[in-house]
Amino acid sequence: MLPGLMQTTPLMISGILTYAQQAHGAREIVSKLIDEPVWRYDYAGLGRRSAQLAHALKRLGVAPGDRVTSLAWNTHRHLELFYAVPGIGAVLHTANPRLFDEQIVYTINHAESAVLVFDRNFAALVERIAPQLTTVKTFVMLSDAERTIPGSVGAISYETLIAGEPETVDWPSFDENAGAFLCYTSGTTGAPKGVLYSHRAVVLHAMAGGLNSAFGFTAFDVVMPCSSLYNATAWGLPFSAPMCGTKLVLPADKMDGASLHALIEGEGVTFTGGVPTIWTMYLDWLEKTGESPTSLKRVVIGGSAVPRAMAESFKRLYGVSVLQIWGMTE
């Protein structure tokens, strides 16, 4: 067999970020936050802050193969973790805050995470479970110094942590089959089961998601992931979007009809995705208020079966196409 002579560059998650910085650096990212003003920056800014976070994590002693756990919503800071943690060769365990306390403890201990990063409205949860966490040495609250809750398990402010760190980094290259994300599924018998995603799997999934017969993104789309970042990496949207150069809108924990509609209309969202429960609430709100989404073109729905009436309502009443997807965490 004659070997090919094409490039054999490993498929790295950091490569998606580097490409987005270079090709779509000025494309906007908009993020709602927990009790903070809306955050706006772009893919160039995402690259700079992810580099700062990478340096900060290494300063904390996070090494390749180590696990970092996040308990967080869809925000720009959580997105920065999505690139910085696997970017340095570590593994991001996206814990599901909707599990029972004992299940969350189990997954963090099973992952043997050294760092726990959490949104400020999970502070009470973290304080409850902290005494049972056997491997966590550092707690980081996803907030600025002013809004970091005093005494909350001795948590460091995220903004304080990354402040002053260099805004560039030489992302390492390593085996593309190395672990990148650790997601636990509770849809089985017994304790939650960990599923370890590789860099190769994440990059290929992002490429497939952006294809025209799948999500069909273009650089003119505005994408709002309402599927949680802790749920199978939000169906790959945080990677497909920068790969295709779309504007990205992150709704944090604001999933009520009024909040979603304000973002859709205010930011010109053309594509969004989430579980049926979210869209039931949104359609009910639209019916009660008489409002209509003017920019929205496509909604992808997964997690459970899509009611036929939901898909028909989106199309008949608002001209929005529905794409049903299905897949297990594993």
Please give the pLDDT value at position 187: 64
All structural domains of the chain, each given as residue ranges with its CATH number in brackets, are: 15-23+42-198 (3.40.50.12780), 208-324 (3.40.50.980)
Position 111 pLDDT exceeds 70:
yes
d(CA 236, CA 215): 11
Which pLDDT tens digit goes with each residue over 79-91? 999 999 999 999 9
Instruction: Provide φ and ψ at 280, rounded to 5°.
Output: -60, -45
Work out the average pLDDT over 66-85. Answer: 98
pLDDT confidence bin for 330, thresholds 50/70/90: low
Which pLDDT tens digit goes with each residue over 165-185? 999 999 999 999 999 999 998
Bridge partners, 30 (sequence order) = 40, 249
d(CA 265, CA 273): 16
Please give the pLDDT value at position 6: 84
Which pLDDT tens digit goes with each residue over 275-289? 999 999 999 999 999
| DSSP string of 13-52, one letter each residue | HHHHHHHHHHHHTT-EEEE--SSSPPEEEEHHHHHHHHHH
What is the model's pTM?
0.96
- Per cent of the chain over pLDDT 70 is 99
Position 243 pLDDT exceeds 70:
yes
d(CA 237, CA 240): 5
Note whether 176 and 200 are within 8 A (CB).
yes
User: Which residues lie closer than 8 Å to 307 by C-beta, 6 or more apart?
Assistant: 276
The distance in angstroms from the start CA to the end CA of the chain is: 34
Give the H or E element holding residue 104.
Answer: helix 101-111
Q: How confident is the prediction for the chain on average, in pLDDT?
A: 95
Which pLDDT tens digit goes with each residue over 186-205? 767 788 999 999 999 999 99
